[in-house]
Structure 1
Amino acid sequence: MIDIKVPTVGESISEVTLLKWVKKDGDYVERDEVIAELESEKATFEVNAEKAGVLKTGGAAEGDTLKIGDVLATIDETAAKPEKAEAPAAAASNGKAAEAAAPKKEAAPAQSAAPVASVPNDIKATPVAAAIIADKKVDPKSVTPTGYQGKIIKDDVLAALSNPGKVTGGKALFNRDKRSEKMSQLRKTISRRLVESKNTTAMLTTFNEVDMTNIMAIRTKYKDKFKEIHGVGLGFMSFFSKACSIALQEWPAVNAYIDGDQLVYHDYADISIAVSTPRGLTVPVIRNVESLSMADIEKKVIELAGKAKDNKLTMEELQGGTFTITNGGVFGSLMSTPIINLPQSAILGMHKIQERPMAINGQVVIRPMMYVALSYDHRIIDGRESVSFLVRVKELLENPEQLLIGRDPVKSLLEL
């Protein structure tokens, strides 16, 4: 028997949560096959079988907290591999059975593929629930999930179908039920770090607004060609990341942090991008944004966001950012005061683009405007630096041609 122990995932991490058993007790597993998914306070990772054999899961259940070094499962490597039924032999001995099996084989992919197109990636549902949602054309957002970690189960969908137009999930009117759910390791870490950030930094927030007319015009004009050449869409995050990377070099205090009695400055921009997932907020890092092209940034954003939603981010991808950008606008937020992502000293908040009347050259015109917010640690960053940084970001976004060389092309031509 071989013991599979909870691996060490970081110097400061002493316990993890068992998210899911990929293999069941008594299953035969091959070497290096994934048997379980664990969640630490920073990331989700997989545990692989060290040898081929029969898996014994022991007493750990999904949702349990385990210490580093605990025995997660055992593998009996002496157990014989089970023999699989031979399909050709069955087909040769019984022609009718083979004919009956053929249509089932063709029907299976269609059945499993149907819900994939109907249920968004950010909504979790069991296969049966997803199939009903697809078949009955139910809006997943109208279903109240009651499964583990917010997963939609079959009964949730049936309850929504049997009570159209009533309280979501089929609950009775004036319902006063309540339920308790154990906090995940990630949620515990988010809670601790947010409180720590509020209590240990002298946090202030400064606001401004950006006229998004020019950026939106560029996207409209070049989005098809950009996607044809680079294989990714042209989003807003690349413009904001590039603008921040330039402004961070001009105002280095915004890109610094406190280490004991030292101020640590960075000559590069490793920008953390806040990504909301069903499990909570994660903040993967895009390295050396100042050296990346717009297409490189967009590809990295898609890659990291995909990994975050699939719980595939590594510890390296979550550590070491020097500045953070968060976009509450995707949820409809018009204005907010984002909290600093420790140990960083500043965070930029993007918000919803909304048409508003603006006074331009004495005339009232309608422009697509976005409020932007910069929360900063006043121990490191003074008001002049924070406001000037945000004004510089605004200038770069309203004049996107400056993103190429970091300054006005006409002034560069005239050497002004």
Structure 2
Amino acid sequence: MSIEKMAMPQLGESVTEGTISQWLVSVGDKVNKYDPIAEVTTDKVNAEVPSSFSGKITELLASEGDTLPVGQPICAIDVEDGETPPKDLIKSEESMPGAAAPEEKDTSMKKRYSPAVLRLAQENNIDLKQLNGTGRGGRITRKDVEKVVAEGLIPAEEPNSETGKSTSGAASFADAMAQAAAVQMTTQPAVDEAGDVDVPLTGVRRAIARNMVRSKHEIPHAWTMIEVDVTNLVNYRNQIKNLFQKKEGYKLTYLPFFIKAIVAALKEYPRMNSTWAGDKIIEKKAVSISLAVAAEDALYVPVIKNADEKSIKGLAIAVDGLASKVRNNSLSPEDMQGGTFTINNTGSFGSIQSQPIINYPQAAILSIESIVKRPVVVNNMIAIRDMVNLCISIDHRVLDGLITGRFLARVKERLENISPENTPIY
């Protein structure tokens, strides 16, 4: 017997460190070669670390949540006689050799699914609860799922008892979001009580949860709000909306006017159109607007590419097209990629104030609230005006109050000065 130490793997060419998101073994556990022993998260991938030896775990050299550089030992194994260390000590689950673990009666790890297993099951509408895993403790491996798919024996997900519909969340945009969200959530299960209804997580909801938790965990949020008099905008839009719809076949909502003003201000203040990159801030050349669009069960954020190159008509067409894709469940991964700044039209639900969570890894998100008539003072007289609140959340690592205030003031100025003379639709 000899003690061998396993090191933090390099899960990608540019990866320099990894985080132990979950240990799958404890000190004293017996493991076989290729048994998964830990889940590791990097900024690029989630992967299972398989054991390079058969033996007994003698020491865990890192705790869950610890981030270690590539090459630093993570655990020690008392290796059985005859075992020789392989040249490549650690491989991710995606490239792990296909040696199946011996059959075990223990099923304590059956419900611990890796990101790759979850993704593959989602893509093929497989109910993992109906599979028997060949991994340690009954854990379902990627090869278990691939075997079921290859043999055509695909257990469909059980229908929801409330709706009678499948609970599968397989969708191309969900896959894209799930792959982008590299951090896994580790939570303690809640206890069901009488009368409670379990609502299975769809792939989309799972991806949203991961990205939101990552945003709040990693980004120091700051928030502010301004009010804007949009009486001129309301009057202008009311004058032309019927003619526009008759001519173009699209509804002319307020949203394209807001997007136009925001995009113009982003061009003047490019720091608002940035992302945090660890040791630097990247000001994005493209101005592509991520637009929060609500569906029945989730919130999607498709992207208007190069929004600064579009007229108000072009923005109206883009908004209508993305909304239609959300309703028809036809968004593609391409529709979800490339956003540099997010706009959230919470006013469509009657909201007058909100604190949005930043769409990671962007630096800001702006909510457009409801347009409401309010009494305000104009030239020392009380007047009824159409007012709207603009609420913005910012990444305080990238932005501060000064530049954010100037940006909002410019958006306000542009919106309050909308008129037929200086606001062309085409």
Would you say how many aligned residue pairs link Structure 1 and Structure 2? 272
Residue aligned with 1:400, SS:
coil
Moved over 3 A (4+): 11-14, 59-69, 71-76, 144-150, 401-406
Of the three residues 275, 284, 287, the one matched with 2:293 is 275
Give the Å deviation of 1:228. Answer: 2.4
Give the Å deviation of 1:12. Answer: 5.1
Kindly tell me: are residues 46 and 200 of structure 1, through their superposed partners in 2, closer, same or farther at Cα, counting changes over 3 Å? closer
Give the Å deviation of 1:307. Answer: 1.0
Kindly tell me: are residues 185 and 286 of structure 1, through their superposed partners in 2, closer, same or farther at Cα, counting changes over 3 Å? same
Of the three residues 306, 311, 330, the one matched with 2:329 is 311
Kindly tell me: are residues 230 and 63 of structure 1, through their superposed partners in 2, closer, same or farther at Cα, counting changes over 3 Å? farther
Kindly tell me: are residues 402 and 60 of structure 1, through their superposed partners in 2, closer, same or farther at Cα, counting changes over 3 Å? same
Residue by residue over 1:266-300, the C-alpha shift from the partner in whole angstroms, topping out at 9 and shown as x without a partner, is 23310000011123111000011111111111111
Give 2:222's aligned residue.
204
Give 1:389's aligned residue.
407
Given the two structures, how large is their TM-score scaled by the length of structure 1? 0.58
Of the three residues 377, 384, 391, the one matched with 1:373 is 391
Residue aligned with 2:361, SS:
coil
- Report the RMSD for the aligned CA atoms in angstroms: 3.7
Kindly tell me: are residues 395 and 63 of structure 1, through their superposed partners in 2, closer, same or farther at Cα, counting changes over 3 Å? farther
Kindly tell me: are residues 64 and 214 of structure 1, through their superposed partners in 2, closer, same or farther at Cα, counting changes over 3 Å? farther
Given the two structures, how large is their TM-score scaled by the length of structure 2? 0.57
Kindly tell me: are residues 308 and 234 of structure 1, through their superposed partners in 2, closer, same or farther at Cα, counting changes over 3 Å? same
Kindly tell me: are residues 300 and 328 of structure 1, through their superposed partners in 2, closer, same or farther at Cα, counting changes over 3 Å? same
Is the helix fraction higher in 1 or 2?
A: 1
Does structure 1 conserve the Cα–Cα contact (< 8 Å) formed by 2:230 and 2:388?
yes
Does structure 2 conserve the Cα–Cα contact (< 8 Å) formed by 1:338 and 1:349?
yes
* Cα distance in 2 between the residues matched to 1:198 and 1:217: 39
Give 1:105's aligned residue.
none
Give 5+ residue unaligned stretches, structure 2.
1-43, 48-116, 132-140, 154-160, 168-192
Give 5+ residue unaligned stretches, structure 1.
1-10, 15-39, 48-58, 77-143, 151-174, 407-416
Aligned AA (1:284): P
* Cα distance in 2 between the residues matched to 1:206 and 1:365: 26
Give 2:36's aligned residue.
none
Confirm or deny that 1:328 pairs with 2:358: no
Confirm or deny that 1:190 pairs with 2:196: no
Kindly tell me: are residues 402 and 246 of structure 1, through their superposed partners in 2, closer, same or farther at Cα, counting changes over 3 Å? farther
Residue aligned with 1:338, SS:
coil
Give the Å deviation of 1:73. Answer: 6.7
Of the three residues 272, 278, 284, the one matched with 1:254 is 272
Give the Å deviation of 1:402. Answer: 9.8
Of the three residues 251, 254, 257, the one matched with 1:233 is 251
Does structure 1 conserve the Cα–Cα contact (< 8 Å) formed by 2:291 and 2:301?
yes
5 Å matches for 1:13-412?
60-61=126-127, 70=146, 71-72=148-149, 146-148=163-165, 177-401=195-419
Residue aligned with 2:196, SS:
coil
Does structure 1 conserve the Cα–Cα contact (< 8 Å) formed by 2:364 and 2:395?
yes
Kindly tell me: are residues 318 and 363 of structure 1, through their superposed partners in 2, closer, same or farther at Cα, counting changes over 3 Å? same
* Cα distance in 2 between the residues matched to 1:228 and 1:394: 30
